[in-house]
């Protein structure tokens, strides 16, 4: 199967794009600035996405979802991010947190938890990182001790997106310290209302302020073995495989942020007049716009190519997942910075959205693996394949 198959259902994908863009423009964008200003959860966006059944379109049909492919999921994240990056983390992290269950969970686990995600009854979060285990996820210290048919979890998770708002948490914990990352980590489902679960204060962040980021504390949290995801000791492999797929959502988010910034800047420079004519007529400005457009489209195509590989489970997905996330986020940072420049002094104020987009773009270079880590992943893959 060639990558050309990506375009087999192009009409359906473009129809989905139109639907999501209309929804985002009407029901998400109007609240984006206020959500950022007040650092509050974008409830209007969550409600709108649920009403349109777009909050988790990746859930298989067998569990009440739309069973949408990876490209469709990326388009949803991209178009929501064009309006509000914080809101795009609702469908994005719903997918990130549920992929371990979809790919490795028991049938019973899928039937118990996926229908709630598909219906919008539950919001999910992914709990992998810790204070001393960021890029080195295998250094985690959160533990899960087996007690017959149950497990007791203790520890804390750091930088957890939508923590406190989410109802379900996919948690990685050490089950055998001697085995280390390879064989000593297991994945579990933890509920927000499980006794012993609590949350830290929201982090005060540079961007994506509408998506709460908190620590998750696990204090003698007892859960049944039925909430274990996959085999005991398979957690690290599950986590890394999940990131291969989910990094594409970050790439899509970056593309959406960049598109929003370019759209706004292009409209502005056609209206803004200096020296008796619109600044869009100056060649220096036109060259900036050309570079922004070119790099954005390159990022989009790389992201879509990665989505196609995710859908097929291609052997080079690890490379493409890392490459799309790294390239698209670097491009988003560049384009949003240029958008601020094109607006001049106005771009530096909160009266216009491009400064927010620039702040939001920065995190795409950092989370789900810094771009330095992505380059390590890509170089290892390239050297191994030679």
Give CA–CA dist 12/6, Å, rounded.
12
Name residues whose C-beta falls within 8 Å of residue 160's C-beta, 6 or more positions apart in sequence: 125, 126, 127, 129, 169, 213, 214, 215, 216
Is 368 annotated as catalytic? Answer: yes
Q: Kindly report the backbone phi and psi dihedral angles of residue 125, in degrees, each rounded to the nearest multiple of 5, phi listed first.
A: -135, 160
The DSSP call for residue 365 is T
Give CA–CA dist 83/24, Å, rounded.
6
* Pairing between β-strand 197-199 and β-strand 213-224 as defined by DSSP bridges: antiparallel
The H or E element that residue 109 is part of is helix 107-119
**355: its two tokens:** 């400064």
Give CA–CA dist 255/93, Å, rounded.
16
Question: Residue 274: which of 338, 339, 343 has the closest Cα?
Answer: 343
> Which is it for the CA torsion 362, 365, 369, 371, positive or negative?
negative
**246: its two tokens:** 């989910």
Helix, strand, coil shares of the chain as percentages rounded to 5? 60, 15, 25
Say if CB 156 and CB 131 are below 8 A apart.
yes
**37: its two tokens:** 């200003």
Catalytic residue among 78, 130, 311, 368: 368
Would you please indicate which residues are annotated as catalytic (active-site) residues? 368
């Amino acid at each position: 199967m060639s990558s050309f198959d990506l375009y087999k259902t192009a009409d359906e994908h473009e129809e989905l794009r139109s639907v999501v863009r209309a929804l985002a423009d009407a029901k998400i964008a109007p609240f984006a600035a206020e959500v950022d200003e007040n650092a509050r959860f974008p409830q209007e966006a969550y409600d709108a996405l649920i009403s349109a059944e777009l909050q988790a379109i990746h859930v298989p049909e067998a569990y009440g979802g739309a069973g949408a492919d990876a490209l469709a999921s990326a388009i949803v994240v991209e178009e929501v991010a064009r309006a509000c990056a914080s809101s795009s983390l609702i469908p994005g992290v719903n997918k990130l947190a549920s992929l371990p269950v979809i790919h490795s969970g028991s049938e019973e686990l899928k039937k118990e938890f996926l229908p709630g995600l598909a219906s919008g009854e539950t919001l999910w979060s992914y709990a992998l990182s810790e204070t001393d285990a960021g890029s080195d996820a295998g250094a985690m210290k959160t533990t899960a001790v087996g007690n017959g048919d149950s497990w007791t979890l203790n520890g804390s998770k750091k930088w957890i997106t939508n923590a406190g708002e989410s109802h379900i948490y996919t948690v990685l914990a050490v089950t055998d310290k001697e085995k280390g990352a390879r064989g000593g980590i297991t994945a579990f489902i933890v509920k927000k209302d499980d006794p012993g679960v609590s949350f830290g204060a929201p982090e005060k962040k540079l961007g994506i302020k509408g998506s709460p980021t908190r620590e998750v504390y696990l204090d003698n949290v007892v859960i049944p073995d039925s909430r274990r995801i996959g085999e005991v000791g398979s957690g690290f492999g599950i986590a890394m495989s999940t990131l291969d797929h989910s990094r594409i959502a970050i790439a899509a988010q970056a593309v959406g942020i960049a598109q929003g910034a370019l759209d706004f800047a292009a409209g502005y420079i056609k209206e803004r007049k200096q020296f008796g004519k619109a600044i869009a007529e100056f060649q220096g400005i036109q060259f900036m716009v050309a570079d922004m457009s070119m790099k954005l489209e390159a990022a989009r195509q790389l992201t879509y190519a990665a989505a196609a590989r995710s859908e097929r489970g291609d052997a080079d997905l690890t490379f493409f997942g890392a490459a799309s996330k790294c390239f698209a986020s670097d491009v988003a940072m560049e384009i949003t910075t240029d958008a601020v420049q094109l607006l001049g002094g106005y771009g530096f104020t909160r009266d216009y959205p491009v400064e927010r987009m620039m702040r939001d773009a920065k995190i795409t270079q950092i989370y789900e693996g810094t771009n330095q880590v992505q380059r390590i992943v890509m170089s290892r893959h390239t050297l191994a394949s030679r």
